[in-house]
Chains A and B, each alone.
Chain A
């Protein structure tokens, strides 16, 4: 039996915190209920492609910067690695 179980990791919570963006504001901007944003952040819901693109567009980032099939590395790790590479 088909079951939609593939989990998609996302950075919505981090991006919201970074921009001090309330759940309701993001929800109304992308046209969903505020609870849906909460479920997305908690990893309880995998969004449709349309919603994923809308969210990425809202943050002005490519979709792969917001959603990933593999767990994201922390932003601090990535920044540190980038600096090391530049040095």
Chain B
């Protein structure tokens, strides 16, 4: 398909198909390249990432709502639905992680061909684009020290948020178990509340316990200084 046949392409090709098409010389027209580069730049800025982070909350609410509806139909269907939606979310999170480590098309052009993206031949642009899509789907994240530090910081922040949230959750769980209208099942519910409390305590104490296990012996003052 050549560039000058833009108007002959179907709506599907112009909107969606070109993202996945095998790229050969002249496969994408100027309009499509502009879209590709705009999308590549948009995905790299903080505003878009924050938008995705905000969309994750309703996404999670949707997942819970669907699973609850399925549980009412059949408990096993609820389990399958929850597992399936969790796998989908896991894949989405993996894709986001891979995306963090991907460089822009412009940087790829400089890295792979030592030239600006605009200066490349059509088939070179195509190869870069194809590799970017492939890496975005199946790539690995090279965890260098900066990536590792960002991950650690994010995990630390998540854990700090989770601590108080777990305490509130356990308190609300106990309140519902003890004060809710569940006369017939109150004692069974109280057992689950004990288990939930135990799990929360385990999670909150885990970092200290891991440190207790892994911290080396305390180094004493060296003899040369102590004498």
Measured CB to CB, the residues of A under 8 A from B are 22-24, 31-36, 39, 45, 47-48, 50-51
List residues of chain B with CB under 8 Å of any chain A CB.
101, 103, 107, 110-111, 114, 142, 144-147, 149
* B160: nearest chain-A partner, CB-CB: A1
Contact assessment for B114 and A36 in the assembled complex, using a CB-CB cutoff below 8 Å: no
Given contacts A22-B110, A35-B103, A50-B145, 4 further A-B contacts (CB under 8 A): A24-B103, A32-B146, A36-B147, A45-B146
How distant is the Cα of A24 from the Cα of B113 in the complex, in angstroms?
11
A34 to B109, CA, bound (A): 13
When chains A and B are docked, how far (Å) is the Cα of A23 from the Cα of B107? 9
Q: Cβ of B101 and Cβ of A35 under 8 Å apart?
A: yes
Shortest CB-to-CB span from A49 to chain B, Å, is 11
Tell me, in angstroms, the Cα distance from A45 to B153 when the chains sit together: 13
Instruction: Write 10 A-B pairs (CB below 8 A) sorted by A numbering.
Output: A22-B110, A22-B111, A22-B114, A24-B110, A33-B147, A36-B144, A36-B145, A36-B146, A45-B149, A51-B145
- In the complex, which residues of chain A have a beta carbon less than 8 angstroms from the beta carbon of B101? 33, 35
Q: A33-B101, A35-B101 are in contact. Are A24 and B144 (CB under 8 A)?
A: no
